[in-house]
Amino acid sequence: MIRLLLADDQALVRGAMAALLDMELDLEVVAEVGRGDEVVAAVVDHGVDVALLDVQMPGLDGIAAARELHRRVPGCRVLMVTTFGRAGYLRQAMAAGASGFIVKDTPARQLADAVRRVHEGLRVVDPALAAQSLAQGDSPLTERETDVLRAASDGGTVADVARELRLSEGTVRNHLSSAMGKTGARTRAEAVRLARESGWLPV
């Protein structure tokens, strides 16, 4: 029997997935959590073999939770199951130690098969996302542009970002302008959104 944890902040989604997976004779959902910062404790408490994590959750996002789980309970496999089928998230998840990445509209039989394959130590990736990831390549943003976008993501002013990063306002404006050009954005907020969707900024 493969023991599973479901981590998703939407209770209805969790319940539906649990019902589908529990119909499989060799799969058992032994724990459900709605926050990323509850994942590691639940895995330890319930002796979980495979953790199915959403990307966006309160407390700790799924990619950070996967990284923490890989560090603290390396024997537990991680399968990301998310609405956010974006190539950048795929790359981040795999770098964090996830063994698989599929989208939520995957048919139930394929989801169960993905769980089994991840449990066996294999990698499972949505084919369309894998192709998109290869085509998209690595982030074009420099480390400093990434820092500036991350600092700007909470809506602060150029002065706020400059103060936080200990840069001049002119330098911040230059980095923002460059990041907007590389993402094809017209505004700072759009640059942050596009960079997140491409996986160039943390979730």
pLDDT tens, residue by residue, 96-149: 999 999 988 888 899 999 999 999 999 998 877 766 665 566 778 888 999 999
Nearest to 132, CA basis, from 171, 88, 92: 88
For residue 195, count CB atoms less than 10 angstroms from its CB and return exposed for 0-12, middle for 13-18, buried for 19 or more.
buried
Question: How far, in Å, CA of 180 to CA of 189, rounded?
Answer: 9
pTM for the full predicted model:
0.72
For the chain, list the domains and their CATH numbers.
2-135 (3.40.50.2300), 143-197 (1.10.10.10)
Question: How far, in Å, CA of 81 to CA of 58, rounded?
Answer: 16
pLDDT of residue 132: 65
